[in-house]
Amino acid sequence: MYDAIVIGVGGMGSAALYHLASRGARVLGLEQFDIPHERGSSHGLTRIIRLAYWEHSSYVPLLRRAYSLWHDLERAADEPLLIVGGSIDAAPEGSRQMAGVLDACARYELPHERFTGRSLSARFPGYRLPHDVVAVYQPDGGFLLSERCIVAHTTLAGRAGAAIVTGERVLDWTEAASGFEVRTMGDRYRARRLVFTSGAWTGKLLPFLNGVLHVERQVMLWTAPVRPELFSVQTFPVFYIHVVEGSFYGFPVHGAPGFKIGRYHHRGQILDPDADPLPMDDQDERVLRAAIARYFPDADGATVTAKTCLFTNTSDEHFVIGQLRGSPAVCYAGGFSGHGYKFCSVVGEILADLALNEGTDKDISLFDPERLKRSGTA
């Protein structure tokens, strides 16, 4: 009998496994694919981390803790995992996004600099945003090496005594005497507590979240910069920009020989996570190339590579994290709505708190799934 079983060893699950094992729990991680793999939400080399969080200012304290835990992980794994090169948030003056960015900066006294589209190009010439846009540079922004982080969390969890089984899909789980039984394709496992970090598959395993979580296809494109010197980690901060064509995020060249870009909610394609992944097609590429040509023309070279990936969305784009009503020994974290990776380190810590202490000192009230039912938007 394990103290806890973590179901899904991706971004969040590997962090939960690490925190549970580090606290001395007898823990098992079950993963349906390899670790890492390219069928979920955490692949594609890099994920943005930024502090000036417009989505809701209550994310900022969690982010501060996340930064600290990512640095701890780098030390423990003895490898760079968080690359700090600054971040740009850009949006029209007075927009919800820009108001949120400036509010987070003011409320938490975050170091930042404000630019127009023109002055931003003078400072970071890879950017050619519209002149009337407001751009906020935040020096603490940067990116995480997402697959390396999963490997680091999992390796260190293993060293701390965690058992890890890959290639075994969890089919179902039931409450059993003094705990739970988890059935996979090949075996049955028992534990006192369960932790669901099953990403795009969470709604399939936790029926109360079925219909609350919607899985959406995303596309990431890497292009060879025409002027590579403008798109290095030293010269080009990561970005999240809100322009007439939609919201786009992107990265300097790192880990692959290309500038990387994606469009938030790409083409709005809702799908079943078990469907065969659809590789990038011409329409996907046109959506991303139009933004590159207009806003980052010096990155508009040949395609280097492209990958598809999954978002798991809630209707208000805030996460769902908590304990199962009536069964507090079951906890879960999901619905990361395309902006969760940067929080993996702190979500792992929260899940360990919930599983071992049945409570956490972090403020997770924003993530109560009841809000979605209350607002009728589930």
Residues near ligand FAD, by CB under 6 A = 7-13, 30-33, 40-42, 44, 47-48, 169-170, 197-199, 201, 205, 218, 220, 249, 262, 309-311, 336, 338-342
Mark whether 265 is an active-site residue: yes
Structure tokens at 316: 């208000």
The angle formed by the CA atoms of residues 43, 360 and 59, to the nearest 5 degrees, is: 55
Q: How far is CA 362 from CA 5, 328, 366, in A?
A: 22, 17, 11
CB of 62 to ligand FAD, least distance (A): 12
Cβ neighbours of residue 376 closer than 8 Å, sequence gap 6 or more: none
Cβ neighbours of residue 316 closer than 8 Å, sequence gap 6 or more: 371, 372, 375, 377
Chain position carrying tokens 């994310």 = 59
Chain position carrying tokens 């070279």 = 301
Structure tokens at 233: 């980690």
Nearest to ligand FAD of 185, 290 (CB atom): 185
Nearest to ligand FAD of 299, 321 (CB atom): 321
CB of 187 to ligand FAD, least distance (A): 12
Structure tokens at 376: 């009728």
Q: 3-state DSSP call for residue 270?
A: strand
Mark whether 43 is an active-site residue: yes
H or E element, residue 356: helix 344-357
CB of 253 to ligand FAD, least distance (A): 16
Peptide bond preceding 36 in cis form (omega within 30 of 0): yes
Mark whether 47 is an active-site residue: yes
Mark whether 105 is an active-site residue: no
Nearest to ligand FAD of 40, 179 (CB atom): 40
- How many angstroms from the chain centroid is the CA of residue 268? 18
DSSP for 168-196, please give it.
--EEEEEEETTEEEEEESS-EEEEEEEEE
Mark whether 46 is an active-site residue: yes
Choosing from 37, 64, 214, 265, the catalytic residue is: 265
The CA distance from 157 to 153, in Å, is 6
CB of 347 to ligand FAD, least distance (A): 8
CB of 271 to ligand FAD, least distance (A): 12
Nearest to ligand FAD of 170, 364 (CB atom): 170
Nearest to ligand FAD of 30, 98 (CB atom): 30
Cβ burial of 94 (10 Å; 0-12, 13-18, 19+) is: exposed
For ligand FAD, the nearest residue by Cβ is 10
Choosing from 50, 153, 266, 309, the catalytic residue is: 309
Nearest to ligand FAD of 48, 352 (CB atom): 48
Choosing from 19, 39, 43, 50, the catalytic residue is: 43
Mark whether 344 is an active-site residue: no
Choosing from 46, 197, 312, 360, the catalytic residue is: 46
CB of 184 to ligand FAD, least distance (A): 7
Choosing from 148, 153, 242, 260, the catalytic residue is: 260
The CA distance from 108 to 250, in Å, is 25
Choosing from 223, 342, 344, 360, the catalytic residue is: 342
Catalytic annotation, residues: 43, 46-47, 260, 265, 309, 342
